[in-house]
Amino acid sequence: MSLPLDGLRVLDISQIMAGPYCTMVLADMGADVTKIEKIKGGDDSRQMGPYIEDESACFMQINRNKRSVALNLKDPAARELFYDMARQADVIIENYRPGVTQSLEVDYESIKQINPGIIYASISGYGQTGPYANKGGFDLVAQGATGLMSMTGEPGRRPLKTGVAVYDIGAGITAVYSILAAYIHRQKTGEGQQVDVAIGECGIPWFTWEAAAYFGEGREPQPTGWRHRVSAPYQALATRDGYFMLGCANQRTWERFCNDVVNKPEWIDDSRFATNSDRGRNVEELEALIEEAFADEDTDTWRQRCDAAGVPTDQHLFAGLVGPALYRARYGPGIRTSDGRQCEDAGLCEQVLVHAAADPSPEPVARRTYRGSAGRYGYRRRASGRTARARGGRLGSLTGRCGSIRAALARFGLRYRLMPRAVTGQSATTRSPRKPTSQSCMLTVGSQCPGTRRSVSPSVSVSRGSSSWPCSSEAPV
């Protein structure tokens, strides 16, 4: 099955969250993403737990569908190798602090000289220009700088960050649609361009209600806690045994809630709750009345009544999100992990966090999870036990496909050597490597190749996914 971005070549020299999230989305849509990592340690997220079989679940979560090349871009030989790849790339993504890529000579102006049509996306804290361009920025800092933390949490309490890295993820998504817009522009004109994404700026358009109140009435947004700024009841509410989310965002839903869920038709005509604005002004009184009624039954009972009445509601726990009712209905039974294991109980967070991707396609996960691993570079789809166990997982568990590495690298016109993994030295990951076997080799440009007296620059190693590319045991080429 073809995917929308099949054939799009992407070089990813970003790390941790914003950039990798962007390239994850591009890869999920079919782009051929090659991730460039540091020689020592690789992407910093490789050092973030929890670890599954000595590999970071955090890293695996947002680096699916990618190949990995470890390069020391300070080394001229490695930089020339990067240039070779850049000449045939469509997109480059980086998230260094402004000025670093210039010092490494891999900035947009440098790459444009060898590939005028390149789309070069730069993600930084405050953008490539302006008074704060050289200032470092992270998701947490952006949440504070834009005022998001001043409206998160409860009134009078310490400012709170959101539960997920919304600005990093938002920057990644912003980069995705900006890259696609630039790609369409290039298809029409042949012109490449630089995409400048500032982590903080990407979230400013999200403040719709807040900006309306500030510019319309001069009211600075205040924290609303578990309630909504405009609608009511649109919030978390307590029941006899827990909490659940109730969303009555319009008058019709509110009336169904009163008549069919709590059997309180008198609330509809109560002047305190007659309109959404009335309910918003009297939300504390309304909340107390609803929770008084909810105290008689448990959460599941109230959810069932709301569902029957067509009133939007749901639970609030992460484990509930990834439960069987949602994922098994849309993606089939269970979720495959990155090494091909099937999670029959999808409600176990420690298993779900490891999954490389829920598989919405009937094709083998190996093809969905690591683009090109099934057929594109010579891998055959077969049902052997070894291949079946590796579907969706690390290609280091597959052997005997040396030619596929050559085919993959031939697309970038690279010169390379293959050598047994036992003598390659440092790979892109610092975690404990698998035991070397007679059939497991790694592509490398580094140390002295066995069988030859010629040494090459210790700057490059290549891995696939979250471990090494496999190949058959043979003399270096």
- Catalytic annotation, residues: 168
Phi and psi (nearest 5°) for 89? -85, 155
Give the HSE-up count for residue 245: Cα atoms under 13 Å, Cβ half-sphere: 12
Query: What would you report as the CA-atom Rg of the chain, rounded to the nearest whole angstrom?
Result: 26
Residues pairing with 91 in the sheet: 10, 119
Instruction: Identify which of 471, 469, 444 has the alpha carbon closest to the alpha carbon of residue 458.
Output: 444
Give a three-class secondary structure readout of the chain: CCCCCCCCEEEECCCCCHHHHHHHHHHHCCCEEEEEECCCCCCHHHHCCCEECCEEHHHHHHCCCEEEEEECCCCHHHHHHHHHHHHCCCEEEECCCCCHHHHHCCCHHHHHHHCCCCEEEEEECCCCCCCCCCCCCCHHHHHHHCCHHHHCCCCCCCCCCCCCCHHHHHHHHHHHHHHHHHHHHHHHHCCCEEEEEECCHHHHHHCHHHHHHHHHHCCCCCCCCCCCCCCCCEEEEECCCCEEEEECCCHHHHHHHHHHHCCCCHHHHCCCCCCHHHHHHCHHHHHHHHHHHHCCCCHHHHHHHHHHHCCCEECCCHHHHCCHHHHHHHHCCCEEECCCCEECCCCCHHHHCCECCCCCCCCCHHHHHCCCCCCCCCCCCCCCHHHHHHCCCCHHHCCCCHHHHHHHHHCCCCCCEEEEHHHCCCCCCCCCCCCCCCCCEEEEECCECCCCCCECCCCEEEEECCEECCCCCCCCC
Q: Answer whether the bond into residue 233 is a cis peptide, omega within 30°.
A: yes
Residues pairing with 55 in the sheet: 52
CA dihedral 415, 404, 26, 133 (to 10 degrees): -20
State how far the Cα of 112 lies from the Cα of 412, in Å rounded to an integer: 17
